[in-house]
Amino acid sequence: MSAFYIILTASLFAISCGLLGSFLILRKMAMVGDAISHAVLPGIVIAFLLTGTRDSFEMILGAALLGIFSTFLIEYFHNKARLQTDAAIGVTFTWLFALGVILISVFAGQVDLDQECVLYGEIAYVPIDLWITDSGAIMGPRALYIAALTLVVNVLFLRIGFKQLYLTTFDPSFAATVGISVSLWNYLLMGAVSMTTVSAFDSVGAILVVALLVAPPATAYLLTEKFSHMLIITCIIAVVISIAGYFLAVWLDGSIAGAIVTVAGILFAITYLFAPNTGLITKRLASA
């Protein structure tokens, strides 16, 4: 049963990340996603200090604000100080991450967080951490509920804002002429990325969220030209890597999150080499 819980939780998070990541990589903002996943750390710590729990609405809010703030900082340095984008990203996220780590050490006694957990989480604890209602009924793993809720919120967000996100991604100047605020939807998307990162960080760690954001959509992108197909393939890959990753981790006795990412990497490599039409080796064979 616990294997099932772990795989289900991982799949739900991977689908959330993959859907958002599809937009990120097409907007050439994959590294901004990377930056956000690091930059939310101080928000998590501060929210933890204020509320004393790990999974609260405040924590998600705190992190979402930090994520949007870091997006704003990156653009501010780029526009106002004319700092090149790559450097603006690099400076911003490392600064906020360092702040987060320092906060953790300052309040070491009060914060039940450590650096390992931030980096690669521990999804193996999912089945142990149960949600027990006030009346004592055991409702199942808490992380599972969080993962499901995150997915629902993300799907709703993408469903409602699909047209706007689609247009601002593929044709920002057209979007602007028909009255869609490009920067508003950019910030909304980044807010969703931050929220997802925070919900997932307990299980997969803030850093490995990046792999879930990027690897499945990048693989899907190589397989299709159509955006709707890309989203569907991304979801399938998300489930496949969660299942395969779990069993790889059991076999090697290692981190489950690390194993999921490893499988995602292998899947990408296979696609990169053998995808129909675009694969490196496929192309070579076709021309030979």
Partner 1 sequence: METLKEFFSFQDPSIIAVTVGAILLSSSSAVVGTFTFLKKKALVGDAVAHSVLPGICLAFILSGTKNPIYLIIGAFVTGWLSLVIIDHISKKSKLKEDTAIALILSVFFGIGILMLTNIQHSGNAAQTGLDSFLFGKAAALVGNDLIVFGIVAVVLIATVIFFFKELKLMAFDQDYAEAIGLPVKGLELLLTSLTVLAVVTGIQAVGVVLMAAMLITPAAAARFWTNDTRVMTLLAAILGGFSGLSGAFVSYAAPAMPTGPWIVMIISAIALISFFVAPKRGIISRGMEQRKLQRMIMDENLLKELFHLGEKDHDLYKGRSIEEIIEERYFPEKTLRKSLNRLRRQGFLTKTNGDWRYTEAGKMKGQRVVKLHRLWELYLSEKMKIAPDHVHEDAETIEHIITPELEERLEKMFDRRATDPHDEQIPY
Per CB under 8 A, residues contacting partner 1 are 25, 28-31, 33-34, 38, 77, 80-84, 86-87, 89-91, 93-95, 97-99, 101-102, 105-106, 108, 115-116, 119-120, 207-208, 210-211, 213-215, 218, 221-222, 248-249, 252-255, 257-262, 264-265, 268, 272, 278, 280
Q: Look at the alpha carbons of 86, 97, 60, 219 in this order and tell me if their dihedral is positive or negative.
A: positive
Alpha carbon distance 262, 255 (integer Å): 10
Toward partner 1, which CB reaches closer, 204 or 239? 204
Toward partner 1, which CB reaches closer, 235 or 264? 264
Q: Residue 263's closest CA among 230, 240, 287?
A: 240
The CB-of-134 to partner 1 minimum distance in angstroms stands at: 36
The CB-of-56 to partner 1 minimum distance in angstroms stands at: 25
Toward partner 1, which CB reaches closer, 6 or 214? 214
Three-class SS state of 139 = strand
The CB-of-89 to partner 1 minimum distance in angstroms stands at: 6
The CB-of-105 to partner 1 minimum distance in angstroms stands at: 5
Are 98 and 104 contacting, i.e. CB atoms less than 8 angstroms apart? no
Toward partner 1, which CB reaches closer, 194 or 262? 262
Phi, then psi, of 141 in degrees rounded to 5: -60, 135
Those residues whose C-beta lies under 8 Å from the C-beta of residue 268, and which sit 6 or more positions away, are 215, 218, 219
Query: In the structure encoding, which two tokens stand for residue 263, read together?
Result: 């499988």
Toward partner 1, which CB reaches closer, 121 or 141? 121
The CB-of-82 to partner 1 minimum distance in angstroms stands at: 7
Are 257 and 9 contacting, i.e. CB atoms less than 8 angstroms apart? no
